[in-house]
């Protein structure tokens, strides 16, 4: 039986046209984009075309796009790059939230070890952050506020523009980690009013190991990697041309993705939820349900069973018990703890995330497999 893939928030398959676009840059187009000869120039043009496509997706200027190795590096560059840049801000203040991915939390903790201070703003039980709480966390020495756009586990979307307005009134920079929201909902950098925004290629049908950081013109960053003048002197190292081309193609596809496609994902997600609810009724809880959520993400708490044990019984269903990077551990995920779930509830949390290649048949089969496994596990545990 074909595996049912409902783990698009962990990673997406590479879209066929993305593979086609990058293939020539793994063979005949091997020039260094910095070389002035024909082979180099072809690669330089391909990199710049890709930059334009990523910029078009965010409706911004190509000069505001820096290619990185992925979401983790983009977040690191945003946080460390802004705080380390200005010697007068040494020991300054950074605000993050309780819904951040480790790719934000860990650089923040690193900065704390260097003498900076970090405040963590909480969220409500729906997984939404109140901009007023961000306002209350601001200090005279706050340099940056970094708030995730859409959470990877429960999919809730944060009011970034309201947060940005509050911060900008105080002259404070704002970063958002949009690794999960990019390609799933429209993102217009100017409408969000942010200064920095992270993208991860492998969440939008490009390969793993490529990403981008939107850097609003005039925002100075200290590089993480010092070297030659690549990427406007912000990210040294010869460009990963095939993967950059892939990201550009993926951005083109994402920009073309219609409202219809987003509605289809929402319908598939809601059908899966209602099939589970038909049997489990109100014993099934949906995380983040009351808040604004990504169209593709369904985080559910199944009563009385361990999600690990459940998914182990159905190897043909690819889903997560939480964020992929936390899987394999039974520790309560910080996101689920932030929305007030108890360890007993999070034991049964399964994240199901649909994507471009999910079919209605996948949804029907996934619901059956989950409910069968839940029933047999419940019987064996009782
Ligand atoms: C919200 C979020 N930020 C950052 C990352 C890290 O991105 P990458 O895997 O490209 O380093 C992920 C990946 O899971 C994510 O979901």
Atom in ligand 1 nearest the alpha carbon of residue 74: 11
Query: Average pLDDT of 307-328?
Result: 81
Cβ of residue 215 lying under 6 Å from some atom of ligand 1: no
Predicted TM-score (pTM) of this structure: 0.96
pLDDT tens sequence across 217-267: 999 999 999 999 999 999 999 999 999 999 999 999 999 987 888 999 999
Query: Average pLDDT of 300-314?
Result: 96
Pair 67, 210: CB distance under 8 Å: yes
Residue 323: its pLDDT value, please?
43
- For residue 289, how far is its CA from the centre of ligand 1 (angstroms)? 22
Q: Which string of DSSP letters, residue by residue, matches 210-277? A: -EEEEE-TT-----SS-SSSTGGGTS-S---HHHHHHHHHHHHHHHH--HHHHHHHHHHHHHHHHHHH
Cβ of residue 70 lying under 6 Å from some atom of ligand 1: yes
Map out the domains of the chain with their CATH numbers.
Answer: 4-12+258-381 (3.90.1150.10), 16-256 (3.40.640.10)
Task: Give the span between the Cα atoms of 206 and 194, in whole angstroms.
Answer: 24
User: How long, in residues, is the chain?
Assistant: 382
* Mean predicted lDDT score pLDDT of the chain: 95
Residue 326: its pLDDT value, please?
44
Residue 373: its pLDDT value, please?
97
Pair 211, 40: CB distance under 8 Å: no
Task: Give the span between the Cα atoms of 258 and 49, in whole angstroms.
Answer: 22
Would residue 167 show up in a list of annotated catalytic residues for this protein?
no
- Give first-to-last CA distance, the chain, whole Å: 30
Structure-token pair, residue 11: 């990673």
pLDDT tens sequence across 126-153: 999 999 999 999 999 999 999 999 999 9
pLDDT tens sequence across 137-195: 999 999 999 999 999 999 999 999 999 999 999 999 999 999 999 999 999 999 999 99
pLDDT band at 330 (very low <50, low <70, confident <90, very high): low
Task: Name the residue of 72, 104, 105, 158 to mutate for ligand 1: max ligand atoms within 8 A of Cβ.
Answer: 72
For ligand 1, atom 4, which residue shows the shortest CA distance?
71
Of residues 185, 171, 173, the one with CA closest to residue 146: 173
Atom in ligand 1 nearest the alpha carbon of residue 210: 10
Residue 259: its pLDDT value, please?
82
| 299 C-beta neighbours (distance < 10 Å), count | 29
Residue 322: its pLDDT value, please?
63
Kindly report the backbone phi and psi dihedral angles of residue 280, in degrees, each rounded to the nearest multiple of 5, phi listed first: -90, -15
For ligand 1, atom 15, which residue shows the shortest CA distance?
179
Cβ of residue 150 lying under 6 Å from some atom of ligand 1: no
Query: Average pLDDT of 257-284?
Result: 94
């Amino acid at each position: 039986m074909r595996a049912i893939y409902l783990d698009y928030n962990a990673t997406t398959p590479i879209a066929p046209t993305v593979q086609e676009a990058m293939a020539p840059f793994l063979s005949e187009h091997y020039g260094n984009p910095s070389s002035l000869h024909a082979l180099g120039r072809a690669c330089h043009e391909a990199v710049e075309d890709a930059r334009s496509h990523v910029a078009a997706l965010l409706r911004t200027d190509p000069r505001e796009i820096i290619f990185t190795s992925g979401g983790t590096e983009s977040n690191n560059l945003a946080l460390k790059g802004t705080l380390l840049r200005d010697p007068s801000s040494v020991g300054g203040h950074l605000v993050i939230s309780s819904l951040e991915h480790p790719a934000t939390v860990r650089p923040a903790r690193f900065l704390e070890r260097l003498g900076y201070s970090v405040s963590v703003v909480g969220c409500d039980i729906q997984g939404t952050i109140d901009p007023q709480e961000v306002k209350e966390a601001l200090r005279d020495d706050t340099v940056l506020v970094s708030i995730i756009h859409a959470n990877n586990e429960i999919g809730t979307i944060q009011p970034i523009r309201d947060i940005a307005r509050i911060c900008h009134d105080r002259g404070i920079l704002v970063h958002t980690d949009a690794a999960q929201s990019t390609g799933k909902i429209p993102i217009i950098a100017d409408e969000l009013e942010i200064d920095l925004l992270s993208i991860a290629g492998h969440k939008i049908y490009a390969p793993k190991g490529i990403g981008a950081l939107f850097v609003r013109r005039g925002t100075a960053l200290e590089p993480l990697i010092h070297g030659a003048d690549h990427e406007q002197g912000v990210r040294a190292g010869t460009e990963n041309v095939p993967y950059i081309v892939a990201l550009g193609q993926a951005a083109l596809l994402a920009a073309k993705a219609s409202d219809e496609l987003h509605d289809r994902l929402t319908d598939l997600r809601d059908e899966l939820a209602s099939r589970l609810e038909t049997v489990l009724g109100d014993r099934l809880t949906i995380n983040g349900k009351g808040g604004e959520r990504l169209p593709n993400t369904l985080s559910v708490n199944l009563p009385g069973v361990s999600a690990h044990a459940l998914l182990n019984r159905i190897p043909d269903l690819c889903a997560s018990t939480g964020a992929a990077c936390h899987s394999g551990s039974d520790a309560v995920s910080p996101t689920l703890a932030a929305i007030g779930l108890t360890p007993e509830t999070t034991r049964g949390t399964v994240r199901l995330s649909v994507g471009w290649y999910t079919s209605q048949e996948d949804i029907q089969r996934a619901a059956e497999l989950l409910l069968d496994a839940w029933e047999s596990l419940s019987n064996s545990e009782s």
